[in-house]
Chain A
Amino acid sequence: DGGITQSPKYLFRKEGQNVTLSCEQNLNHDAMYWYRQDPGQGLRLIYYSQIVNDFQKGDIAEGYSVSREKKESFPLTVTSAQKNPTAFYLCASSIGAGKGEQYFGPGTRLTVT
């Protein structure tokens, strides 16, 4: 399944808490992406990174933050500023930005109550 992993599979948090979702890949891919999936809305891009130590906002970056200190890791923090954080979060990677297939991780389902 492509060598990209996300943990944990299910995550529960109380409102007002920050939470960090893990994404690791061993594919030697330069580009990594975070998407949010809600029912009936497809995949919406949160943040993406074309190379280590660089990242750009996607369409719905408000309330989220990321880091890219290592090529293989691209963690996503859902902050308390995110108004509606309950969702399914998918991480993906590709050889390079705009180059070839994006491989997806298994996803993390975050529930905030």
Chain B
Amino acid sequence: GENVEQHPSTLSVQEGDSAVIKCTYSDSASNYFPWYKQELGKRPQLIIDIRSNVGEKKDQRIAVTLNKTAKHFSLHITETQPEDSAVYFCAASSEGGKLIFGQGTELSVKP
């Protein structure tokens, strides 16, 4: 079945450094790729998304890149801050409008 692999599972960076999280997907028909941030004990919230007709999208310190040929996409966070500490999930669309989620990356930003 469809699958999304996410790496790394944990990531620790110093405040001000950049963080990169990578995902690969298996369904070549996937055309929507959202990223969610989940703070401890809270609901996941969308932080950025990209569609397959675009290769890159940026929103302030956050950017997402998509390589359809290789079937992978990445989240880039620049100038990280302690409040960026959370679990981040990537996802890829699948048939019937479902989302297939990656396993999550726990990002820790050390002051």
- List 9 tightest A-B contacts by C-beta distance, closest first: A97-B97, A98-B97, A104-B43, A43-B101, A42-B103, A42-B101, A101-B46, A42-B104, A104-B44
Known: A31-B97, A56-B96. A41 touches B103 (CB 8 A): yes
Would you call A90 and B96 a contact (CB within 8 A)? no
Query: Chain B residues in contact with chain A, CB under 8 A?
Result: 1, 6, 9, 32, 34, 42-46, 49, 89, 91, 93, 96-104
Say yes or no for A50: interface residue by CB 8 A criterion.
yes
| Residues in A whose Cβ lies below 8 Å from that of B96 | 48, 50, 56, 97-98
B6, B93, B101, B102: the one within 8 Å of A98 (CB):
B93
Known: A104-B43, A106-B42. A40 touches B98 (CB 8 A): no
Say yes or no for A99: interface residue by CB 8 A criterion.
yes
Query: Chain A residues in contact with chain B, CB under 8 A?
Result: 1, 31, 33, 35, 40-45, 48, 50, 56, 58-59, 90, 94, 96-99, 101-102, 104-107
Interface-central residue, B42, B46, B89, B99, by most chain A CB under 10 Å:
B99
B32, B45, B97: the one within 8 Å of A104 (CB):
B45
26 A-B residue pairs with CB within 8 Å = A1-B43, A31-B97, A40-B103, A42-B6, A42-B104, A43-B44, A43-B91, A43-B101, A44-B101, A45-B99, A45-B100, A50-B96, A56-B96, A90-B44, A94-B97, A97-B97, A98-B32, A98-B96, A99-B97, A101-B46, A101-B49, A102-B34, A102-B46, A102-B99, A104-B45, A107-B43
**Nearest CB to that of A98 among chain B residues?**
B97
A92 to B102, CA, bound (A): 17
